Structure 1
Amino acid sequence: MSMRSRLRPLPCAWTGLTGVGDPPEKLRTVDGRSLVAVVSEAPEGLKAKRRDVLAHQSVLERLMADGSVLPLRFGALAPDDDAVQQVLDERADAYLERLSELDGCVEFHLKASVVEEARNILLGSEEARRLNEDVRAGRGGQDLRMALGGLFAGEVQRRHEVLAAETVDALRPVARDVRTSEPTGDDFVSVSFLVEQARQNEFLTAQKDLADRCGEDFAFRLHGPLPPYSFV
């Protein structure tokens, strides 16, 4: 489901677009006083199957091509059309303000990790090198191993915080807004950028320049352009 202002007409060509389900449900609109929600029925126990996720994404992309939208993440449900209409009207002012802020923008989501981080820490820390050499030589026992592990953990966290800040700072000037989330796994950053469509190429160039400066020890994964999920 997504929402958009009634000030812009809905796309006329819905050929090939459907809602979720098997067989897929038809799309329809729920009209509020100043907003329209594009919805479909949802089957019992809706799950994020590839077919349904792609249907959701296709509808958002078609709507975005015609104007700004407030995208709801896959799986957002309401009991009936009356409940949707009530929310549209009760929160109309806030939704319209957000639509204005998102007008002409898309989201890019960036994650990044460091390759061979242990080697980099050993190269950059004399204490880590000394402890590692003692452990490999069989000196110090379990206490020394724990000390080395604690040093590595602290150094990894410190490095990740610095790298994340530098990554965000490098790309913030070409974005309208930024939303960070907690990175997972080996990633040191997980961040979404709200980018004006007119500046997409500028943003992509800035991200490539950042990756080139960082070199082969860094693995950057950029996803987008996406509907601005993180900024609704």
Structure 2
Amino acid sequence: MSGTAEISYLYAVTRAPGPGPDPFEGVRGVGGRPVRTVECDGLAAVVSAVPAAEFDEEALKERFEDLVWLEEVARAHHTVVDAVTRSAVAVPLRLATLYRDDERVRRVLEREHAAFDSVLRRLDGRVEFAVKVFSVPTSPTEDAPAERGPGSGREYLRRRRERHRRRDEGWRLVGDLCDRIDAELLQRSRDRRTHRPQSAALSRVEGENVMNAAYLVDEEDVASFLGAVGRLREQAPGEARVEVSGPWAPYSFASLEMDGEGS
């Protein structure tokens, strides 16, 4: 890819916009470049030009180790996807989906037309909510030093056993809560995806993430879904914290993955 000055960065695929003002006018993508659409048979790929020297295969191997650069690209990528999904249903593509030029993008739309169309139909009128449950310690995790004096050793062991009992009971309560949450929210959503629990070191929030799920919800059912989350959160034991965020573009349910030509 390094032989050309610019290549095409693909953000998302949506329905081709009809006549009228450009719905993406003023939207800027990676590097502040303006976005445009590449259309084929009723579909539109939202793309922008990026420098080939920065995004070819060799360059990306190094740049993906640069967290500052990666954060900037990810922020720009999501800004475009958010702008697209505000105006129409869309299939978001993964970070750094790249093609040699717009003609290659057009060929992908033609080749994968049925797959894109199927996903767009499935996502139309639906949004994603993220629901997380955290196990929160209600007592110190470190054993306090035993007091000196007669019987202090026995008292220390008693306190230690009591802490373990409360910890085990807390885990049971949190597990039961996760089961109730999932069962009730599945009744108010079209689909669910479970993700790997977040690392406490990376998330920098209190507690251990024990449930990390995404739910695909019909727009007309959003109020019912959030109401159920609110009730479940009120019923949560002290050992648990429930968080919900959204609505988001349904990334977790846009299962069509395109590798591009530079990944």
Matched positions, count: 209
In structure 2, the residue matched to 1:3 is 13
Provide the aligned C-alpha RMSD in A: 3.4
Q: TM-score, normalised by structure 1?
A: 0.74
- Contact (CA 8 Å) 2:30, 2:76: kept in 1 or not? yes
Cα 1:229/1:182, change in 2 over 3 Å: same
Secondary structure of the residue aligned to 2:233 is helix
**Structure 1 Cα separation of the partners of residues 75 and 27 of structure 2:** 10
**Structure 2 Cα separation of the partners of residues 112 and 209 of structure 1:** 14
Secondary structure of the residue aligned to 1:175 is coil
Match runs of 1:1-232 below 5 Å = 1-6=11-16, 12-21=22-31, 24-43=32-51, 44=54, 45=60, 47-50=69-72, 52-116=73-137, 136-137=156-157, 162-185=176-199, 186-232=208-254
- Contact (CA 8 Å) 2:135, 2:171: kept in 1 or not? no
Q: TM-score, normalised by structure 2?
A: 0.66
The one-letter amino acid paired with 1:17 is V
Percent of aligned positions that are identical: 29
Secondary structure of the residue aligned to 2:30 is coil
Secondary structure of the residue aligned to 1:72 is strand
The one-letter amino acid paired with 1:82 is E
Cα 1:113/1:9, change in 2 over 3 Å: farther
Shift, 1:110, TM fit: 1.3
**Structure 2 Cα separation of the partners of residues 73 and 108 of structure 1:** 19
Shift, 1:193, TM fit: 0.5
Shift, 1:25, TM fit: 0.9
Shift, 1:77, TM fit: 2.5
Unaligned runs of at least 5 residues, structure 2 = 1-10, 55-59, 64-68, 141-152, 200-207, 255-263
Cα 1:228/1:40, change in 2 over 3 Å: same
